Structure 1
């Protein structure tokens, strides 16, 4: 699913950037984070569905979710969530102590993010903070701690990227969101969405350049950043915010953005 990729790819970027010059990323660490991304994405969805079950019943796209449809109980959801988090903890405990503490610190974001749409028009920003934690954690898993001159710009780039793709995603549900009183950047930006997305994209590209310069990346990396810029420009230019099917298509295409950057990181490090 696109959401799992969007959670995993910032981890992969960070792991790739942390690799020794001339070396491929650590495939063991990449695999651990892949498993962790699947588990935490699943846990995040479970938490989101538990918080939003009453809202989900009122939205056509989400009314068939198991909790909203009444197929499972809240208690069963808690049991399932406990299993997901327990398995995710097993993955986390495979990392160094610094990374265990850093990873555990993200749990508060995972739990509280679904509430943000009730209180702010910027829940996508909080999702960005949550979904891109791996940009910090990946580096620390390889190196033992964060190199903030690299990790922070990479994290910021990921947050800006999330604001792009999740604002697009939010336009799918904006009519229902207005009716049920849920907030989003899609409702905040309205017809100015493309201008905001362009600004976020520019901030993402500049942050990626800063991260690359601070860890001595080479031509393939910056070529990938340029390709990402072209992809985002096309994505935003052709976006029809009033067509849910086009919003979904553009949202899902962001996996390509993440993969392009990972390829650029790997090639730039060789």
Structure 2
């Protein structure tokens, strides 16, 4: 293993390169610690769910704010650990493909910075960290969380099989939209599944934008993606995907009995998604990355409305 190889093309000028010990950098890159946007996007549906479940408790007259804060913190730790594990697993399976794609050929495995055995050991350590977090949750939430493992395991293979692997990513990445309900109130009402469905379509939309960075390389190596499938019609698809996202999350808020703060948060979230549709240029890789990353802000905007509703509504 070497540590002198450059950082991946889509990962430069970050805290890992500036501050992490050189021997740790390849492993931190393998876990995408140099690009925390993925952890944010995995975590945000968890926090949406916690906020909505807390709101349900508040309307029943018994909000458990301390438990909500504790679960929010656990989900944050778990999101970092499991996002890192998912990226490591993805890179293990995709190491040959990554070596043929410009943006990813300098990732740790294809660049020879980490051995395959080392990657498996690192994967196990991250899964162990996730297990520790999992065991801190109530039994029902543990069962719900474990139900997602199949999706996590098969997602990296989907780009070889189906034209919209982003859908499977959405199913896996949005699981947190169920977890706050499962942990805080011990059940999954209809509003939880509506929130989950909305989050799934949100993921499909923003990951389509992300995938346009690799559209030409994916075509050359035979990898399927929604970016290739939608191609020049992407903007229209985004209107449909993001529009359905807003409708489904709106239904979730309505079924959960949400009030004015939640609706204001949803309206601001919808406005941000509209800005993305207007702003995105699918032929400009830098633009696609910038618009994709802005989804952290979009998700936090909605979260602010849901939290305000739970605490002040």
TM above 0.5, yes or no, is: yes
Q: How many residues align?
A: 269
Deviations 1:145-181, CA, capped at 9 Å, x for gaps? 212x111100011001001100000000001000001
1:63 corresponds to which of 88, 105, 116: 105
Separation of aligned partners in 1, 2:81 and 2:141: 17
Task: Specify the alignment match of 1:158 in structure 2.
Answer: 199
Deviations 1:99-138, CA, capped at 9 Å, x for gaps? 1111111111111100000011110000000000010112
- More deviation in 97-106 or 34-43? 97-106
Task: Specify the alignment match of 1:198 in structure 2.
Answer: 239
- More deviation in 230-239 or 40-49? 230-239
* Structure 1 residue ranges (4+ consecutive) displaced by more than 3 angstroms after TM superposition: 22-25
Q: TM-score, normalised by structure 2?
A: 0.84
Deviations 1:11-54, CA, capped at 9 Å, x for gaps? 00000111132755711110000000000000000000001000
Task: Specify the alignment match of 1:116 in structure 2.
Answer: 158
Aligned-pair distance for 1:208? 1.0
RMSD: 1.1
Matched, 1:80 2:115: no
1:74-223 matched pairs, under 5 angstroms: 74-147=116-189, 149-223=190-264
Greater share of helix: 1
2:302 corresponds to which of 256, 261, 265: 261
Give the SS at the match of 1:188. helix
- More deviation in 235-244 or 21-30? 21-30
Which one has more relative contact order, counting CA pairs under 8 Å at least 6 apart? 1
2:58 corresponds to which of 2, 16, 21: 21
Consecutive unaligned residues of structure 1, counting only runs of 5 or more, are none
Task: Specify the alignment match of 1:41 in structure 2.
Answer: 83
Q: TM-score, normalised by structure 1?
A: 0.97
Matched, 1:224 2:261: no
Give the SS at the match of 2:281. coil
Separation of aligned partners in 1, 2:302 and 2:274: 16
